[in-house]
Amino acid sequence: MRVELAGIDGAGKSTVAGAVASRLGFEIRRVTAYGPAFEHGVAQLRRALGERGVEAARAIAIGRALLETAAAPMGPNVVFDRYVESARMYWTVQSIAPLPNDVLRLLPANDAVVLLDVDVATGLARRRGTSFDDVDAESAYLDRCVTYLRGAARRNGWIVIDARAPLEDVAEEVVTAVRART
């Protein structure tokens, strides 16, 4: 079974993914698009191409990370801390599409997508880092992400968990929902 955890930054994806993997004996996969080398080059890229150039580079890095994740060997049961639906969210919110849908359909499909649903204030309070220097820009970006994710969840029948609760409780809800799908 392949399960993707989706949600805005600060929703608890990494924490919940670790707990779910541990409780269900799943392998955990974290789609990591930006390493230290990428982040080091962002300032140069911003100076040369502006914010839109940085967004395009991030979108391409996400696409590369998805393809690398799909190509890597993995066990039969995996919980993804972000995967295809999280990439679609970023690309839609930023109006950039580096990988067409016909390529995305070739990637190993999720059996379930779980939206860890939180409001922007909760996400901002829990975040480890920020995407923007300006808190208003950060809030506006996260608001667009929340809107996209909630709409995608309704359209696609995702499991939606209110992730404002303590993350241990959220993890237990996810485990219960995943078990119901197997």
Query: Please, are residues 174 and 20 in contact by the beta-carbon 8 Å criterion?
Result: yes
Residue 44 is predicted with a pLDDT of 85
Q: Burial code of 43-55, b = ≥16 C-beta within 10 A, e = fewer?
A: eebeeeeeeeebb
Mean pLDDT by 10 residues, the chain (182 residues): 95 95 94 80 85 86 90 92 92 89 88 96 81 80 96 97 94 95 82
